[in-house]
Amino acid sequence: MEGSSALDRYLYAISILEEKYLCVRSVDLAHFLRCSRASVSAAVRDMAKRGWACMGENGALTLTNQGRERAKAQRQRISFFESILLRAGIETDIARDEAFAVSKAISDGSFQALQRYMKEKF
Number of domains in the chain: 2
Q: Please check whether residues 41 and 79 belong to one and the same domain.
A: no
- pTM, rounded to two decimals: 0.82
Write out the residue range of the structural domain in which residue 30 sits: 5-64
Instruction: Please name the helix (run of DSSP H) or strand (run of DSSP E) that holds residue 21, with its range, or none.
Output: none
pLDDT value at position 122?
Answer: 80
Measured between alpha carbons, how far is 20 from 6 in angstroms, rounded to an integer? 22
- Which of 64, 81, 96 is the last residue in one of the domains? 64
Measured between alpha carbons, how far is 7 from 121 in angstroms, rounded to an integer? 34
pLDDT value at position 86?
Answer: 97
pLDDT value at position 1?
Answer: 45
Q: Please check whether residues 25 and 55 belong to one and the same domain.
A: yes
pLDDT tens over the chain, length 122 residues: 445 678 999 999 999 999 998 899 999 999 999 999 999 999 999 999 999 999 988 889 999 999 999 999 999 999 999 999 999 999 998 998 899 999 999 999 999 999 999 999 88
DSSP state of 24: B
Contacts of 31 (CB under 8 A, 6+ apart): none
- Which of 15, 38, 64 is the last residue in one of the domains? 64
pLDDT in tens, 60-88: 999 999 999 999 999 999 999 999 999 99
pLDDT value at position 4?
Answer: 67
